[in-house]
Amino acid sequence: MQVIQVIINGILLGGIYALLGVGMTMMFGIVKLTNLAHGEFIIIGAYLSTVLANAIGVDPILTIIVTVPIMFLVGMGLQSGLINRVMKIGSEPALLVTFGLSIILADAMLLIFSADAQRANVPYNTASLRIAQGLNISVLDLIVFCISLATIIVLSIFLKKTYLGRSIRATSDDTQAASLMGVNVNRTYAIAMGIAMATAAIAGMCVSMKWVYYPSSGGNYLLTAFGVVVIGGMGSIPGTLIAGLILGLAQVIGGANYGQLIAYVLMVLFLAVRPQGLFSK
């Protein structure tokens, strides 16, 4: 029974890991940009969610109705106004810009919210569902997993079935051929960044309910997102989900002492043996 419990916990943790990485993998796959500020975007999402939930007294989950459109528009503005311009010079300056952005955002959050630990309070924080003798599922973990899975499924359907989604995939394949089909590549990049930030808003909301966070927590989530992208394959949405589950299971199996170690050994192994990831794109 204990083994089943570990597997369930690992899968549930893997769901949020996949969500942490999905925005980053989109930016890798479509814009070919390593967004080093993705961790900070997640923490901004967490703060926005907590502040809003406290201000209007609603469940943090409902805050995504507001935070997702805001983060989407900010992402579009950031890509069109700054990163697209820098990318004309090359991908390295764009990488440095996102690095600079991560420092600026972390410092700005420190100024605004102080270094105090934060966590959103939800009534189901400690609630659990008893499935069998010795087998329980945390309600919060289950909710977070369902939100992560739903986000990834909706994103996959959007990319597969809509004109805009197809144009994003086409741009990731061949920018010139996409522009010959009437696609404005810079606008597509901006939409991709908008989507990446929208997923960061959802991930941030989940993080705020599940873990304690600080203005400087972005780096930890960036590393997890990197692990997901490396294992899943850059640009692959299904790969993100599988990689998230692998990392989640590895972390839970390894426990508090070896969880992180196993996860990062896996990441290094993938980089050495299969650098294109499981679902290479």
User: In the complex, which residues of this chain contact other proteins (CB under 8 A)?
Assistant: 163, 166-167, 169-170, 172-174, 176-185, 281
By beta-carbon proximity to other proteins, the closer residue of 128 and 280 is 280
What is the SS3 string spanning 98-122? Answer: HHHHHHHHHHHHHHHHCCCCECCCC
Task: Write down the least CB distance from residue 194 to other proteins, Å.
Answer: 18
Angle at 211 between CA 206 and CA 216, to 5 degrees: 100
Nearest to 78 by CA among 49, 35, 110: 35
Using CA atoms, how far apart are residues 264 and 84, in angstroms rounded to an integer?
32
By beta-carbon proximity to other proteins, the closer residue of 91 and 184 is 184
By beta-carbon proximity to other proteins, the closer residue of 178 and 191 is 178
Task: Write down the least CB distance from residue 281 to other proteins, Å.
Answer: 7
By beta-carbon proximity to other proteins, the closer residue of 30 and 245 is 30
- Residue given tokens 């990446």 in the structure block: 196
Task: Write down the least CB distance from residue 151 to other proteins, Å.
Answer: 22
Task: Write down the least CB distance from residue 185 to other proteins, Å.
Answer: 8
Query: What angle separates helix 139-161 from helix 237-273, to the nearest 10 degrees?
Result: 100
- Residue given tokens 């808003």 in the structure block: 201
